[in-house]
Amino acid sequence: MPELPEVETVRRGLEAAFVGNVIAKVDQRRPDLRFPFPDHFVSRLEGRKTVALHRRAKYLVAELDDGTALIMHLGMSGRFTVYAPQGHVLRPGVFAHQVATSGLDIGAHDHVIFDFEDGLRVVFSDHRRFGLMTLHPFKDLNGHKLFASIGVEPLSEVLTSSYLDQKLSGKRTPIKSALLDQKIVAGIGNIYACEALFYAGISPRRSSHTVPGKRSMRLVQSIQSVLSRAIEAGGSSLRDYAQADGELGYFQTQFAVYDREGEACQTASCDGTIQRLVQSNRSTFFCSNCQR
């Protein structure tokens, strides 16, 4: 499933296409994705202008001019692609495939098609249908069940060592599991939890209650550094993920531990190898020499 850097990369790729643009037509080609579409989904979107495109955890949120929030999640295999007619003059920042003016062939897994007033088309494809789209008042976004219990954004100023100390104090679960708990920190998935723990020098098996203090200071710094670098790299091109312009991210070429079982640790002073263990049915990769 795409993690925070992948979703943020998609948000940036879609922002120029969505924001300030009017949705002229919506083609909803099935009644549901992971959940049914809300009633009157199409009519509530057509004619609306996008004021801003936000990201909350792993969700995209289009803020519309009537106060509605279009909430979107990529699921396991969801992908947005931007198209423009051949010869169409693109607005600054828009990256789109040029297609023949006669139209674009719609595939079996293209489930929602947004046609904008300026001629752009955005297609949401999802062959596994684990994604979702729904509508909710933007001012009450945190009251929606999807967001009600989500923790702080990891790249915000709210994520501090003091905050993490408070959340981890007395917690006996492994620190890797705590990082995947969306009620503590939003959007950190399996890949970046492994990477952040490596750079912080913390074993994924370490009990969470022993992390507060100097370890949590290192962990906050490594979380923010790893996520920031991954966003700049365009995310990781694993499985179905691609950016809105069709390009693949390349942060996977920079992995220190993830998916490197049996390979040599990249730390210059370490002669160990990367190991793998299973925690909560997820693969964890780490170096037992460097992470304590």
Catalytically active residues are: 2-3, 58, 282
What contacts 24+ positions apart, CB below 8 Å, involve 65-70?
67/137, 67/138, 67/139, 68/44, 68/135, 68/136, 68/137, 68/138, 69/135, 69/136, 69/137, 69/138, 69/141, 70/45, 70/133, 70/134, 70/135
Cα-based distances in Å from 41 to 133, 178, 213: 9, 36, 48
Check: CB of residue 264 under 8 Å from CB of residue 191. Answer: no
Q: Is 268 helix (H, G, I), strand (E, B) or coil?
A: coil
256: nearest Cα among 279, 287, 225, 224: 287
291: nearest Cα among 228, 230, 192, 202: 202
- Alpha carbons 56 and 149: distance in angstroms, whole number: 12
147: nearest Cα among 53, 74, 71: 71
- Alpha carbons 163 and 133: distance in angstroms, whole number: 32
146: nearest Cα among 155, 136, 156, 157: 136
- Alpha carbons 194 and 292: distance in angstroms, whole number: 13
DSSP 264: B
Q: What is the DSSP string of 17-37?
A: HHBT-BEEEEEE-SSBSSSBP
Q: Is 265 helix (H, G, I), strand (E, B) or coil?
A: coil
